[in-house]
Amino acid sequence: MSLKQVTKTSAKTFNINEQLPLVAILRGVEPKDAMRITKILIAEGFTMIEIPLNSPNALNSINCLVENFGDKYLIGAGTVTTIEEAIDVIATGANLIVTPNFNEQVIRASVAADCKVFSGVVTPTEAFSALAAGATGLKLFPISVLGINGFKALTSVLPATTICLPVGGINPTIASMKPLMDVGAQGFGLGAALYTPSMSDDEVTENARQFVSAYRGCLVH
């Protein structure tokens, strides 16, 4: 399938304030579990669900979630590193693509297909290149490399409207989230502290609840 066959022409303005800006990264989820786990997360308020492509049969999971939730929520893929992968994801009808790195082709293909795309960046060069290519926002990954001071320095030179989502080691506490929000984070990507395949449904529910509570707590402190 060619890029021309799967792209759309109209792009919609993205407003992060219309979402719970916590991206659920379901790394390792299997298709038989993807629907159940997503229902749990949506029930707790999540609106952005990412299936990393290095998960088992990831495209099958994404396709199923898109069919059931894609009209109301942002559903798509993470760890998208090549244009070929992007085309495969776009073909499922996904509306969200997240990359671990800056790849101009992936960003432009995603934008052309009306997918929201968050590009992995660490340096100012990567950040400005991603924005110039049309990225919806930036995935600061791994945030541990930048640290608070590095992230603050980066956001000080970015356009004020830039959406920044730190990823890597975020915990469901105000102490983990608020220092980053104070220097420019609008939300976060959440991985193993939210979900791993070994967790029970009750554990995922409780983790989700704690993350939502901590994020909302940051807004009033």
In a domain, residue 84? The reply is yes
Active site residue 152: no
Q: 104: part of which helix (H) or strand (E)?
A: helix 104-112
Q: Tell me, what CATH number does 44's domain have?
A: 3.20.20.70
**Integer-rounded Cα radius of gyration of the chain:** 16
How would you label 185-221 residue by residue, b for 16+ Cβ within 10 Å and e otherwise? bbbbbbbebbbeeeeeeeebbebbebbbebbeebeee
In a domain, residue 14? The reply is no
| Predicted pLDDT at 98 | 98
Question: Where does residue 86 fall: left (phi above 0), alpha (psi -120 to 50 degrees), or beta otherwise?
Answer: alpha
In a domain, residue 69? The reply is yes
Structural domain of 42: 19-220
Catalytic residue among 18, 30, 50, 152: 50
| Predicted pLDDT at 5 | 39
| Predicted pLDDT at 140 | 98
Number of domains in the chain: 1
Q: How does DSSP classify residue 13?
A: P
In a domain, residue 4? The reply is no
| Predicted pLDDT at 194 | 98
| Predicted pLDDT at 189 | 98
Active site residue 50: yes
Catalytic residue among 139, 152, 178, 203: 139
In a domain, residue 121? The reply is yes
pLDDT beneath 70, residues of the chain = 1-12
**What Å distances lie between residue 76 and 37, 103, 117, CA to CA?**
15, 17, 10
In a domain, residue 5? The reply is no
**What Å distances lie between residue 122 and 103, 129, 143, 149, 165, CA to CA?**
13, 11, 8, 13, 12
In a domain, residue 3? The reply is no
In a domain, residue 1? The reply is no
| Predicted pLDDT at 13 | 77
